[in-house]
Amino acid sequence: MNSFFKNLFFSSFFIGIISLLADKRPNILFVFTDDHAPHAIGAYNGWLKSVNPTPVIDKLASEGMLFVNSFCSNSICGPSRAVIQTGKHSHKNGFMNNGNTFDWNQQTFPKLLQKAGYQTAIYGKSHLKGKPQGYDDWAVLPGQGLYYNPDMIFPEGKRRLEGYCTDLVTDLAVNWLNNKRSDEKPFMLMVQHKAPHRNWMPALRHLDLYADISIPEPATLFDDWQDNAPGARVQELEIDRHMDINYDLFLNLTPDYNQPPSQKSQDRSAWHNMKRMTQEQLKVWRDHYSPRDKEFNEAKLSGKELVRWKFQRYAKNYLRCVKGVDESLERLQKELINLGLDKNTIVIYSSDQGFYIGDHGWYDKRWMYEESLKMPLIVKWPGVTKPQSRQMELVQNLDYAQTFLEIAGASQPKDMQGRSLVPLLKGETPKNWRKEIYYHYYEYPSVHMIPCHYGIRTKRHKLMHFYQFDKEWEMYDLKTDPDELSNIYGQKKSLLLQKKLKKRLTYLRNFYEDDSDVTIRPDYIEKFRKKS
């Protein structure tokens, strides 16, 4: 055999070996939602478990690993997604608040997966502006997108799809699995739902879900925030004062509705969405709400009874949106089985952050308090992750990129700031696993008026610094005070712990190289103190 044919033979041989190895690497199905709080997932055993909101997600947890202490690094939609794309904190990836534009030219894990031989696709909510890079195929919602008959942006341009957003995104993913997926490569398929984001518009088939029951109220529904820093008393995310009874809860809302909203920065997307509904969709919607609106108008509720009514309508619609997501996960997994892909596909369920479902009297997220800091993370890895596992180590969305890369057998860039979760998924705990997580929220002044803050959370304690107010701190013992109602910062018995946590917080800020603006604003201090 001459040298030319010998080289050709060995080249083909090694290419064949690499191809064979690639075929055995696991596929990844990453289902990602928006604002789905862990306590609205039955498997997390929260106070909403009694209404059985997520039987399919719960089954996934029973077949894999549930991460109990899973956290975001910045509790807001776009920044959380940017952290996942890059494996870097907000101050490093440049996307610190929803007003920023993500730099798609930077290093992201999908690009690295492509280089490692993976086929990649993303469908649904991107919320990072610009055209996604690192994906072989994609279709994304513009901005927040709409629940009904949404526009979607495809590589060839924008077009309108008729139907319910959660179903449509699932359709695109199922179509990709059947018609666009390569049999020669492993894949990473990201299915990113809008639900259950505000304005909580459920599929028509779910409008009657929970209609005849009362959703349990959170214990802190009527919290008065007296033990918090001033920002907690002058925020703008209360069910009582800030949840618009028409634009958020659809009372008397019709396409020709023209009443002024209750806030200058009112989210009117439900009203805009209603204008996009077909006559058939609108009829089903109004047939459901009209008799309930009439009943409410006649009741003339006020005070706590009005808050309770608003909570019920809000919580039911939120959970109805969750139901659509749960059904989507079921459909996607059935498709994996139909295609013979289930045994070699890792299925991951997560959401960009937690959410307040009446907890502390609030809706939305942003705070470093537990309900918005925690994000769900459930992973089924057939043959690797032990079923019914509950992982207690501290993990963050910061870790996802490096986890995907290790699964793919790709190198993890040194400038990424997380840790691969693969050892944990295999039932191993590295001796040097993190003892605390770092958090930083930047978006003020903005929607809901949550002040900028950063902080540290260990397995038991939390310390937060609302740095625009200089000396405003909060500290909690999460073992004795899981609802964070008793601020122990400054108490004599807590001074030693306080000093230790401050030292560790300073260490984390240096470790992650967070030198972002921590300017004290006297005008903020005066404004907040007057209001509070």
- The pLDDT tens digits of the residues spanning 443-492 come to 988 889 999 999 999 999 999 999 887 779 999 999 999 999 999 999 99
Do 56 and 196 share a domain, yes or no? yes
Do 178 and 69 share a domain, yes or no? yes
- Does 291 map to a domain? yes
Instruction: Determine the pLDDT at residue 16.
Output: 47
Is the CB of residue 400 less than 8 Å from the CB of residue 87?
A: yes
Indicate the residue among 313, 332, 360 that finishes a domain: 313
> What are the residue ranges in the chain where pLDDT is below 70?
1-23, 520-521, 524-525, 527-532
DSSP 376-437: -EEEE-TTTSPTTEEE-S-EEGGGHHHHHHHHTT----TT--S--SHHHHTT---TT--SEE
Q: What is the 3-state secondary structure (H, E, C) of 212-266?
A: CCCCCCCCCCCCCCCCCCHHHHCCCCECCCCCCCCCCCCCCCCCCCCCCCCCCCC
Q: Write out the H or E segment, with its range, that includes residue 475.
A: strand 472-477
Instruction: Determine the pLDDT at residue 446.
Output: 87
Do 48 and 172 share a domain, yes or no? yes
Is the CB of residue 242 less than 8 Å from the CB of residue 236?
A: yes
Q: Quick one: how far is CA 487 from the chain centroid? A: 27
Beta strands 395-396 and 70-71 are parallel
Give residue-wise pLDDT tens across range 227-268.
998 889 989 999 999 999 999 999 999 999 988 888 878 899
Instruction: Determine the pLDDT at residue 529.
Output: 63
d(CA 381, CA 384): 6
- Does 9 map to a domain? no
Do 197 and 217 share a domain, yes or no? no
Instruction: Determine the pLDDT at residue 15.
Output: 45
End-to-end CA distance of the chain: 87
Collapsing DSSP to helix, strand or coil, 348 comes out as strand
- Does 162 map to a domain? yes
Q: What is the CATH number of the domain that holds 465?
A: 3.30.1120.10
Domain extent at residue 265: 210-313
Domain count across the chain: 3
Do 300 and 341 share a domain, yes or no? no
Do 72 and 193 share a domain, yes or no? yes
Do 113 and 250 share a domain, yes or no? no
Q: On the CB side of 81, how many CA atoms lie within 13 Å of its CA?
A: 29
The CA radius of gyration of the chain, in Å to the nearest whole number, is 24
Instruction: Determine the pLDDT at residue 259.
Output: 85
Do 51 and 191 share a domain, yes or no? yes
